A and B are shown apart, each in its own frame.
Chain A
Amino acid sequence: MKKLFLKMIVLILIAANVFMVSGCWNYREIDEMEIILGAAIDYDEKSNKVILTAEYVKRSGGGEGEVGPEVVKTEGENVFDAVRNLVIKTGRKALWSHTKVLIISEDVARRKEQLISIMDWVQRLTETRDDIWILLSKEKTAGEILEMGIEAQKMVSMDLTDLLKNEGSISKFHAVPIWQFIDRIAADGISPTIPTVHKTLTEYKTMSEIFGTGVFNKTKLVGWLNGAETMSYLWVIGKLKGGILVLQGNDSNETGKMSLEIQKNRTKRKVNYSEGEITMQLDIKTTVRIAEIGGEVNYMDESATEKLENDAAELIQKRVDDVITKVQQAYHSDIFGFAGVVERELPDEWEKIKRDWDQVFTDLKTDINVEVEIRESALKSKPIKVGE
């Protein structure tokens, strides 16, 4: 009986230990950490230092526990040095597992070592996740994008994340998570892109906007695409999910501007190879619906619809052709991933031209076939009628 009693005591002690020693070795309460939502990285050439601007959640006490943004700026020799210097400013260690966006400045994007060190740090650190969105600041510094949140008392990183998630309905930027960016850098021939973020001043407040694309040649920023060009870029890479195509009016038949809403898009990319020359063939098939008519022409007629389809197809073809030519001539950087198509379809030929792909890409001929299909016209069957 006594033995059983002793056994029980020992068992209870062991069981009690479970509650006491559970948890991590380096257990920290949430109030001992700063939750970083977004970070912006600048590079100062004079002092050769990295400037990190971090936006974190400020918790004010009280029952309701309101949250607001707080922005801290630190300097360091490289990224991780700057990150650890955060502790000096905030007094607490940073928690990076909830970070959503990383903004880099143009200075950083133009320097290979800086860019590589940031990417490496993000992928190497245990806390940061590889699906952080990466953005390129079109302003002077990257930090000011986050800093404007203090004045407006809203979390810029959160707004940017919400915006990035709505890529499908805007189609004026192409959101890139950091792992994809790194993958693009590593792939042969293909170059990455980053969406650009702007700061706009209205009369009442400053706001952040994302549109356009920064074009890289491997690890070096070489140029920009604006919002409309980015949409054409999405057409080429086949990632277009929505957006509006505006047809300019035609004076002769009294049509105003028309909006076609893109519902579905499919881009097939093929390589045509004959006598040592590669032609990239793009078969674009877009389904749209009439979303806005600025004139009186009734497009429910079959012939009118057909004409509209042809006009739209022509417009798309022109825009796509323009953007390809621009990137080929001005940037010499294969952001469309044509290299991947060639590698897949002509592996032997690819081995030969791999070395000077940038040159081949610049001279690459494209053959763009566009087919537009108008499926529906939303709620209205006819345009608004204007009486005599």
Chain B
Amino acid sequence: MNKEVISDKQGISIIILYMVGTSSIFMTALEAEKDSWLAIIMALFMALIVAFILARIKTLFPEDDLFQIIEKCFGKFLGKGIILLYTGYLFYTGVLVLMNITQFINISSLDETPEIIIRVALMLLCVWIVKEGMEVLGRWSEFFVIPIIGFILIFICLSIPKMNIHHLFPILSVGITPMIHATHFVFAFPLGETVIFTIAISQLSVKKSYYKVYMTGVLIGGIILLVICLTNLLVLGINITSGVYFQTHLTASLIDIGGFLQRIEAVMTVVLILAGFIKLSIYLLATSMGVAKIFGRPDYRFVVTPVALLMINLSVILFDSIMEFMKWDVEIWPYFSLPFQVIFPIIILIIAEAKKKRTKNSIREQTCP
């Protein structure tokens, strides 16, 4: 397998785009109502811990991706099983992301275009970039991360005249249970999803900088989400925010500076499509790598197209309507993803640490008997 090396900066860019991706349009922490921004802060701390665990795993095995680490830790048979589970999870989540993006485009702007057309068009580009490899993805992200953050900043600055600080008060009014739920949801999607980068970003040019890349990426991505969430809450207030699907789109559409600078929502749509494209590509890449690993093939490229086509198929048959989709997305998915995001990484870390220690000891025993 030819190793694909990307720089630290590219790695961070990918993670930021990934975090901003679909979540800049959907707000996931609405359980906590006015305090959803607090939920995001709490989730960000949790996500940093998970990122730290994953970075530690990667530092122990700097040459391998997560699948190889799993095989090394659990052995061939059990390892294959876990890889299969992971691949299924990634595949399924990839389908959800695809549906998120296309449903947004379909509902907000191209409402008479059949959704399948948008899906196929988007997926074709993803297949292309994934076949080109991680290095191209990295360079693409490095280039686009600046305009995307710029657009978001412009959006936030232009929203300032419409903000009303009273929308946030009183703080901590919902109680502790909804708060924990909301924190969990934000953590599950998208802040805690760092695990995918242990698969996708398999090699960094400067070794042992995984701590830096994962944690900076998650931190910046999380802060952007936090600011977007605050903007939406400040402009719209919780009553409207919880009543519409695409809050950022609505907030952007309210911007009106001097009667000529208006209808900024198209810019936010572009941000979503660009960042969502990276997100989808990463899922496609990781799923393909998983499938290739299960069948013991060194290169993943041969399965990219079939996986993409399967994703499109599944996205068509999975849900009947956006209502059903949202219900699933909000109520079930966070629990479904918890083992993959937190429990497995912790188990892997423990076993990896133990293994590392033992090999070190045995090496020491061999060298100085």
Contacts and interface: CB of A to CB of B under 8 A. Distances in A.
Q: Do A and B come from one complex?
A: yes
Given A130-B254, A344-B169, A25 B243 contact: no
A179 B243 contact: no
B170 A347 contact: yes
Interface string A266-286: 000000000000000000000
A321 interface: no
Closest 7 CB pairs of A and B: A186-B239, A25-B113, A26-B112, A344-B169, A347-B170, A126-B111, A183-B240
A26 B236 CA distance: 31
Given A130-B254, A340-B166, A344-B166, A182 B240 contact: yes
A131 interface: yes
Nearest to A188: B239
Interface of A: 24-26, 123, 126, 129-131, 165, 177, 179, 182-183, 186-187, 340, 343-344, 347
Given A183-B240, A343-B170, A25 B256 contact: no
Contacts of A177: 254
B254 A179 contact: yes
Nearest to A341: B166
Given A186-B239, A187-B237, A187-B239, A126 B250 contact: no
B173 A24 contact: no
B114 interface: yes
B109 A26 contact: no
Contacts of A343: 169-170
Given A179-B240, A183-B237, A25 B110 contact: yes
Contact of A183 (B239, B253, B256): B239
B244 interface: yes
Interface in B76-127: 107-114, 117
A165 B256 CA distance: 12
Interface in B109-148: 109-114, 117
Contacts of B243: 123, 182, 186
8 contacts: A26-B112, A165-B259, A182-B239, A182-B243, A183-B240, A186-B240, A344-B166, A347-B170
Nearest to B169: A344
Contacts of A182: 239-240, 243
A25 B112 contact: yes
A40 to B, nearest CB: 23
Interface residues of B, number: 24
A61 B239 CA distance: 47
A126 B108 CA distance: 6
Given A25-B114, A123-B244, A130 B239 contact: no
Counting chain A CB atoms within 10 Å of each CB, the highest count among B110, B240, B244 belongs to B240
A343 to B, nearest CB: 7
Contacts of B113: 24-26
Contacts of A126: 107-109, 111
Nearest to B107: A126
A183 B109 CA distance: 24
A187 B113 CA distance: 36
Contacts of B240: 179, 182-183, 186
Contacts of B256: 131
A347 B171 CA distance: 10
Nearest to A177: B254
A182 B114 CA distance: 31
A85 B183 CA distance: 47
A130 B250 CA distance: 8
B287 to A, nearest CB: 28
A262 to B, nearest CB: 21
Given A123-B243, A131-B256, A187-B237, 8 more contacts: A24-B113, A25-B114, A123-B244, A126-B107, A126-B109, A126-B111, A165-B259, A182-B243
A33 B170 CA distance: 47
Contacts of A130: 250, 253-254
Interface in B255-269: 256, 259
A131 B113 CA distance: 26
Nearest to B265: A129
A25 B166 CA distance: 43
Contact of B173 (A26, A179, A186, A347): A347
Nearest to A127: B111
Nearest to A126: B111
Contacts of B250: 130, 179
A25 B239 CA distance: 34
A123 B244 CA distance: 9
B117 A179 contact: no
A347 B169 CA distance: 9
Contacts of A25: 110, 112-114, 117
Interface in B156-192: 166, 169-170, 173
B110 A131 contact: no
Contacts of B253: 129-131
Nearest to B243: A186
Interface string B205-242: 00000000000000000000000000000001101100
